[in-house]
Amino acid sequence: MSKNICGRFAPTPSGRMHLGNVLCALLAWLSVRQQGGRMVLRIEDLDAMRCPRQYADLLEEDILWLGIDWDEGGSKGGPRGPYYQSECAPLYEKALQKLREKGLLYPCFCSRAQLHAASAPHLSDGQVLYNGHCRSLSAEEAAQLSKIRRPADRLRVPDRTITFVDGCQGPYTESLPLECGDFLVRRSDGVFAYQLAVVADDARMGVTEVVRGKDLLSSTARQIYLFELLGYPPPHYRHIPLLLAPDGRRLSKRDHDLSLEVLRQSLPDARPLIGLLAFLCGQLPRPEPISPRELLPLFCWDNVPKENIRIPAQWYQTPPQNWNISALRNR
């Protein structure tokens, strides 16, 4: 095993995994195992109320059923824990303090309604570009507002462009002030923001490769900037295509779209599912039942498409227990 290569699967246990989560776990595992690297399972349960531990436990059972293993993390533990974000607040506070000492943080008292006002510019991912309303508050003004409302912590961004080459999507460039804006690192309710937590965790766990959905591509510039501020090299990123329903909508845990709960009740094992996913992402010429371990020598990043993938309608119209792999070969 190469100690220098480390990948991770970092799901949010707010419900059972759907097929898009499975594809991400599969590609992350194939990539790191083919390089002889270390695999980490990190449970991203920052909002503990929304992510009960029972879902994290079920998630582990689902991953093992798929034939995907990991070297450290989750309930298995390891030398770089905690592996549950809900247990990492002191570590995130240390990272926050580093930013505070650099003079880069300021309190933000804006309400959600203010942030999402009709006049606020919206980014391509639906987020709001912060207008800097609280950026120049005086210490006296901030103290007065603190008596009324608990502030969030927001990070100043410089007039700078971040450029990197994504391992799946290719070159990507983002202007921090124009396409990102000052962003939150801790919410007003005290919950640490995803951007800070994921950077602190990847740095601490020695993650060198991040495989995740292309919907998170726009957050990468912020994370690269945070890695730099905290004094760590960023990992190599690969943003994979999203799996879409036949009508083009995104899969959702809320809608139970081909969830592992349904699939595990319907299929005798995971090999038909792995084969169908491998076919959709260019790893097999036709759908064939296969395990992740059997797929390993065939895996090639060059064959993974860049554009989002629509699941064939037949998958939705036919119960999983009646999936006919041979009938799908010529589709």
Known binding-site residue numbers: 8-12, 44, 108, 110, 130, 134, 194, 212, 253
Identify whether 147 is a catalytic site residue: no
From 175, 33, 16, 152, select the one nearest 96 (Cα to Cα): 152
* Spatial separation of the C-alpha atoms in residues 244 and 312, rounded to whole Å: 9
* Spatial separation of the C-alpha atoms in residues 172 and 222, rounded to whole Å: 13
Question: What phi and psi values does residue 297 have, to the nearest 5 degrees?
Answer: -70, -15
Which tokens sit at 203? Answer: 């740095």
Residues 6+ apart with CB under 8 A from 217: 166, 169, 172, 237, 239
From 2, 10, 12, select the one nearest 254 (Cα to Cα): 12
Q: How far apart are the first and last CA of the chain?
A: 39
Residues of the binding site for Zn(2+):
108, 110, 130, 134
* Spatial separation of the C-alpha atoms in residues 89 and 189, rounded to whole Å: 13
Q: Exactly one of 94, 147, 253, 306 is catalytic; which is it?
A: 253
Residues of the binding site for ATP:
253
The alpha carbons of the chain give a radius of gyration, in whole angstroms, of 21
Amino acid at 224: I
How distant is the alpha carbon of residue 296 from its chain centre?
23
Residues of the binding site for L-glutamate:
8-12, 44, 194, 212
- Return the C-alpha torsion angle 249, 250, 255, 261, nearest 10: 130
Helix (H, G, I), strand (E, B) or coil at 315: helix
Residues marked as catalytic = 253
